[in-house]
A and B are shown apart, each in its own frame.
Chain A
Amino acid sequence: MASFRGTEINPKHFHKSQIKFYLIIIPMAVFMALPIVYIFNHAFKPLSELFEWPPKFFVKNPTFQNFKDLFSVTSTTGIPISRYLFNSIIISLIVVLTSVVVSSMAGFALSKLSFKMKKPLMVANNIALMFVSASVVIPRYLIIEKLGLIDTFWVHIIPGLAIPVGLFLIKQFIDQIPNELIEAAKIDGASTFRIYWNIIIPLIMPAISTIAIVSFQSVWNNTEVSTNYINRESLKTFAFYMQTLTTQSNAVAGQGMAAAASLIMFIPNLVIFIILQKNVMNTMAHSGIK
């Protein structure tokens, strides 16, 4: 292959021909990273640096004061911030777990089981990929009200269980598992549930982590539920509290707290993604729509 001088996708070694790519990517990456680097710095700035003019980008004397302030302040209604954080954590955990179970079961059924509704369901789910949830806020509100879910803990969880993108990705992934494997298990007398639990689940861990990330991001960052469906302050989430923090206070002192809060919002997303990123890329390889 000595005559081949074309591109090497995913090269093993560094070559000076790669420099031109870095020259474009790195400035882009810096632009993308700036606001995030900024939030890291801002969250640790002491009051004196927050008030400094002209404002400096980097923090000089990092302090945890903003975090302390954040946790000592209670919202105007007397709910401590730890309550919002607790709500967010519990809700996120439950949603991630249930949506993983619900969509992996559905993905298994759509990919490997045969039943009458299969075809129309697949078509419906592919159409729902382009579902923009903002377009149904009104009827959704009415349905949630009719179901008596307003002001309950469940309204955080149930409406978010069907994630068309999640089901789509997991189904594509299960499609890669050879049917022979399932046939063999059947011949050995395994029930459908055993096949799902002992064969499918271990094989689709990458897709499961991807769905976990997708659903975690949507629920952890969600403010609509708390804004639209919850009136009781003690049931609202951290994301919602953060929103009130930013809309109420334009004062510089509030900025430090807001930055600390948004750091708390951001870190779990980042950590989870870093841990699972290999799995995500593995799933994405099968993400194509044919």
Chain B
Amino acid sequence: MKKLVAKFKNNRFAEEVTGELFIFPYLLAFLVFITVPVLAGMLLSTTYFNLLESPSFIGFGNYISLLTSDDIFMQQVIPNTIKFAVIVGPIGYMLGFLLAWLLAQVQSKPRTILALIIYSPSMTAGVAMSVMWKIIFSGDEAGYLNAILLNLDIIEQPIQWLTNPDYLMTIMIIVTLWSSMGIGFLAMLAGVLNINQELYEAAYIDGMKNKWQEMFYITIPSMKPQMLFGSIMALINTFNAGSIGVQLSGQNPTPQNAGQLIVTHIDDYGFIRYDMGYAAAISVILLLMVYLFSKAAHRLFGERE
């Protein structure tokens, strides 16, 4: 029996099995709740499905009506999403890098405290966050922003910040930026801190003159992997924040669709109108957008052979 066990231990087959055993629980969850939903979403997007009757195949029907007859999608949701993503993604990312870089220039104790403060909004993600901002931007005169502006005689009437289409998008962007210093920010901070000090010293001997040169010739190239990780996190953060407009205004669709992003458009069709096939088609477009953006990020920071 002992011999058999020993033989089994040296067996390549045994190694194969242990490897698979260790990965199995993760793999199962990964397949069932990530891979299969993505594939099922793609399939579903080619059907008409209202949860009551079984799905009926309609080919590219959903995509065609999405692109040709969904006015809200083409005229508001897509421009809103692009505006939101282009502002929140890159600005949040650059801000994250800049803050990380600045923090690395100061001593460890104050840095830890400041980094904690800057990171803390990202912990409050979701509900807790919208409570605070809702009170601050509350539409009556008891709202903080209104009260301050009324006191300073800048406005005469309280402004309905969160239900006014003119302001909603701006507020969404500010709130999302405020909460976007998450894991990516921490990774970049660690990245700046871990760069070999001798690189800088050598560069200064070679004639490097100022902080900007330092940042672009030493810091960023030396931490490309963390920059890439940070950019992917910024990307996910941006698209996952998609329902912020609904959370803030408390309505889906948001007032005059001013804060309607792809994510809320999916919820609108999926969980309010129960047009699952159509919602799935919108999801596929969303996945495609995320994928394209991340390809761009890999282009910028990926290691080249």
Interface residues, chain A, CB within 8 Å of chain B? Answer: 1, 3-14, 18, 21-22, 24-26, 28-29, 31-33, 35-36, 38-39, 42, 51, 53-55, 57, 101-103, 105-106, 108-110, 113-118, 121, 124-125, 128-143, 147, 158-159, 161-162, 164-165, 167, 191-192, 196, 214, 217, 221-223, 228, 239, 242-243, 246-247, 250, 252, 255, 258-259, 261-262, 265-266, 269-270, 273-274, 277, 280-282, 284-285, 287-290
Residue of A136, A196, A250, A290 touching B37 (CB-CB under 8 A): A136
Q: Provide a sorted-by-A list of 20 A–B residue pairs whose CB atoms are within 8 angstroms.
A: A4-B205, A6-B201, A7-B105, A26-B114, A31-B178, A109-B22, A121-B23, A131-B34, A134-B286, A135-B41, A135-B239, A138-B266, A143-B33, A143-B40, A161-B33, A221-B128, A223-B127, A284-B187, A287-B191, A289-B225
Report how far A282 CA is from B239 CA in the complex, Å.
28
Residues of A within 8 Å of B187, CB to CB, are 284, 287-288
Residues of B within 8 Å of A221, CB to CB, are 124-128
CB distance from B244 to the nearest CB of A (A): 11
Report how far A121 CA is from B181 CA in the complex, Å.
29
Interface of B is mostly: helix
Report how far A4 CA is from B201 CA in the complex, Å.
6
Residues of B within 8 Å of A124, CB to CB, are 30, 35
CB distance from B194 to the nearest CB of A (A): 5
Say whether B131 contacts A139, CB under 8 Å: no
Residue of A25, A247, A266, A280 touching B103 (CB-CB under 8 A): A25
CB distance from A46 to the nearest CB of B (A): 15
Type the 1/0 row for B12-34, where 1 means its CB is closer than 8 Å to any CB of A: 00011011101101110110111
Q: Within 8 Å of chain A (Cβ to Cβ): is B118?
A: yes
Residue of B106, B124, B194 touching A269 (CB-CB under 8 A): B124
Say whether A262 contacts B124, CB under 8 Å: yes
Q: Within 8 Å of chain A (Cβ to Cβ): is B169?
A: no
Say whether A136 contacts B190, CB under 8 Å: no
Q: Within 8 Å of chain A (Cβ to Cβ): is B155?
A: no
Report how far A63 CA is from B133 CA in the complex, Å.
22
Name the interface size band of chain B.
35 or more
Q: Within 8 Å of chain A (Cβ to Cβ): is B287?
A: yes
Say whether A135 contacts B124, CB under 8 Å: no
Say whether A158 contacts B270, CB under 8 Å: no
Residues of B within 8 Å of A191, CB to CB, are 9
Say whether B226 contacts A287, CB under 8 Å: yes
Residues of B within 8 Å of A36, CB to CB, are 120-121, 124, 132
Residues of B within 8 Å of A117, CB to CB, are 20, 23, 27
Say whether A132 contacts B117, CB under 8 Å: no
Say whether A270 contacts B117, CB under 8 Å: no
Most chain-B CB neighbours within 10 Å: which of A54, A57, A191? A54
Residues of A within 8 Å of B276, CB to CB, are 138, 142
Say whether B127 contacts A28, CB under 8 Å: no
Q: What residue of chain B has the Cβ atom nearest to residue A103's Cβ?
A: B26
Say whether B232 contacts A35, CB under 8 Å: no
Residue of A11, A33, A142 touching B120 (CB-CB under 8 A): A33
A105-B23, A214-B183 known; A136+B38 contact, CB < 8 A: yes
Chain B residues 61-116 with CB under 8 Å of chain A are 99, 102-108, 110, 112, 114, 116
Say whether A287 contacts B128, CB under 8 Å: no
CB distance from B199 to the nearest CB of A (A): 10
